[in-house]
Amino acid sequence: MKKLVLAASVVLLAACASPQQEQVNFAPKATTSAAKVVENKSMSLSSKDVRTAQYVALLDNGRSNITPVHTRQNLRIGIENALVNQFSSQGFQVTVNSENSLNVEVQEALVSVKHTVMENDMTANVVLELTAENAKGKLVKTYTGTASRSGLMSASNDDIETVLNDTVNLVLKEIANDKELQDYMKERF
């Protein structure tokens, strides 16, 4: 029994001593439409994350020490939920089974951070690919968002969070305002 208590204590202490992974909040905001584009055209929406790694930021302090930063929320699900709200506000009815499908592929979502004690430089890249498809045809579009930000002092998690969310929101806004995508879905869905 003493060995079991000792082993449990060692495991507990090791867990407390191990460094915690850096995490940021991911909260994309849908660009909702005041006017409906269509009236209750149904579509199914699916998504997948094809990034090679699940972190959303890399912190480089210049001393051969690069730290990955993850989101507390699932990035793919956050983007999918924002798009559901976006398309619902445009008049589309998102259902599970529809002959009209929209597939979202998260290809990149990364904030590269180079920082020292005195300054930081952040560069964000977000790439989403949308495929609108049914029996009448298929439209594939890639949306890219980039942002740069510099500041004094080292970058905080709040700074990284702001840059990531703002860049994703820019891409969502571009999708919401894409007339070619709207016209395609209006005519073919």
DSSP secondary structure string for all residues of 34-94:
SS-SSSSEEEEEEEEE--SS--SEEEE-SSS-EEEEEESS-HHHHHHHHHHHHHHHTTEEE
pLDDT at 15: 46
Q: Is residue 146 domain-resident?
A: yes
Residues 147-161 as b/e (b if ≥16 CB within 10 A, e otherwise) read bebeeeeebeeebbb
Q: Which is it for the CA torsion 122, 112, 104, 96, positive or negative?
A: negative
Name the domain count of the chain: 1
pLDDT at 40: 82
Q: Is residue 90 domain-resident?
A: yes
Q: How far is the C-alpha of 65 from the C-alpha of 100, rounded, in Å?
A: 47
- Domain containing 111 — which CATH number? 3.40.50.10610
Q: Is residue 9 domain-resident?
A: no
How does pLDDT run across 27-78, given as a tens digit for each residue?
999 999 888 888 889 999 999 999 999 999 999 887 778 899 999 999 999 9
pLDDT at 153: 85
Q: Is residue 11 domain-resident?
A: no
Ranges in the chain, pLDDT < 70: 1-21
The residue written with tokens 């199914």 in the block is: 44
Q: How far is the C-alpha of 76 from the C-alpha of 45, rounded, in Å?
A: 12
Q: Is residue 5 domain-resident?
A: no
Q: Is residue 89 domain-resident?
A: yes
Side chain identity at 22, as an amino acid letter?
E
pLDDT at 18: 41
pTM: 0.84
Instruction: Tell me which residue range forms the domain holding 115.
Output: 40-188
Q: Is residue 19 domain-resident?
A: no
Distances (CA, A) of 53 to 69, 106, 120: 11, 12, 23
- Tell the burial category of 114 from Cβ atoms under 10 Å away from its Cβ (0-12, 13-18, 19+): middle
Q: Is residue 174 domain-resident?
A: yes
